[in-house]
Amino acid sequence: MIRVTVFGENHHEKTHKVVSDIYPKGMHTCIADALNTDKEIKATTVTQDQHEHGLTEKKLAETDVLTWWGHAIHDKVENAVVDRVQKRVLEGMGLIVLHSGHHAKIFRRLLGTSCDLNWREAGEKERLWICNPGHPIVQGIDKPYFELQNEEMYGEPFGIPTPDEQIFISWFQGGEVFRSGATWKRGNGKIFYFRPGHETYPTYHDKTVQLVIRNGVKWAKPEGKYPLGCPHVPADKAPEKIVVTGGSVH
Ligand code: ZN
């Protein structure tokens, strides 16, 4: 069973009627419900308005994969929580960053770049081309691309380090393109950025988007644990017998 924590900013849902009409129980609940249709996944939600944003030491210790949607109040996320999430990713927890999470503190921290991009809200068509049909994240999509009829445009240049793997490239009706699905590894943790999901469109109700997030969770699940820290290994604990010939200040 893969334990997924779905983090939602839960801000637009409380301030914008269009958003609460599309997502009456919040975007995070819609995403978690879609994940829980898979018997291998157990998804629960936390929201930014909770104490420690719901991301306590205990909750993160019990999380295999964290999904992150934020937009308007990234700057209100506590730095201590960002430190904690970063540590868990380096240990091996998977992280799926959704849509406007491109500017989340945790994403910029882990990637180390601006993550800036161009944008436009015109409700235009987005066509997401699959770059590698053999990748686990796109299994079950039986076409070379899929489309969303109304989305926000994100355009290049996207201020990210070169991805380890490019999963999707989007084309928008206005002509721009964007690296809308990409993966990286940091420490032992796998990171997947997946672009669609503007709050005023019903993107997280889309069956293909839901499938991609489920596939992403399965791809990002931990594989072993990366030890953090720099332990000293004394000569008599080395795997082979050695004669100490030099001094050390330690
Ligand atoms: Zn947006």
In this predicted model, what pLDDT tens digit does every residue of 172-228 receive, in sequence order? 999 999 999 999 999 999 999 999 999 999 999 999 999 999 999 999 999 877 777
In angstroms, the CA 237 to CA 229 distance is 18
Beta strands in the chain (DSSP E): 2-8, 41-47, 65-69, 94-98, 118-130, 145-155, 165-172, 177-186, 189-194
Q: How far apart are the CA of 198 and the centre of ligand 1, in A?
A: 4
> What six digits make up the tokens of 216?
């992403």
In angstroms, the CA 2 to CA 4 distance is 6
For the domain made up of 2-118+181-237, the CATH class stated in words is: alpha beta
What is the SS3 assignment for 57? helix
Cα four-point dihedral sign 188, 192, 193, 199: negative
Residue 119: how many CB atoms within 10 A of its CB? 14
Q: How far apart are the CA of 13 and the centre of ligand 1, in A?
A: 13
Judging by DSSP bridges, how do beta strands 2-8 and 118-130 pair with one another? unpaired
Q: How far apart are the CA of 215 and the centre of ligand 1, in A?
A: 22
Q: How far apart are the CA of 99 and the centre of ligand 1, in A?
A: 6
Q: How far apart are the CA of 23 and the centre of ligand 1, in A?
A: 15
Predicted TM-score of the model (pTM): 0.95
Residue 164 pLDDT: 98
Q: How far apart are the CA of 242 and the centre of ligand 1, in A?
A: 59
| Residue 3 in this model has a pLDDT that exceeds 70 | yes
Q: How far apart are the CA of 224 and the centre of ligand 1, in A?
A: 34
pLDDT band at 82 (very low <50, low <70, confident <90, very high): very high
In angstroms, the CA 106 to CA 112 distance is 10
Give the single-character DSSP code of 64.
S
Q: Mean pLDDT, to the nearest integer, of 20-47?
A: 98
Q: How far apart are the CA of 197 and the centre of ligand 1, in A?
A: 7
The per-residue b/e assignment along 205-240, b for 16 or more CB within 10 angstroms, e otherwise, is ebebbbbbbbbbbbbbbbeeeeeeeeeeeeeeeeee
Q: Mean pLDDT, to the nearest integer, of 147-164?
A: 98
Residue 117 pLDDT: 98
CA distances from 91 to 32, 87, 116, 190 (A): 24, 6, 27, 10
Residues of the chain with pLDDT > 70, as a percent, come to: 98
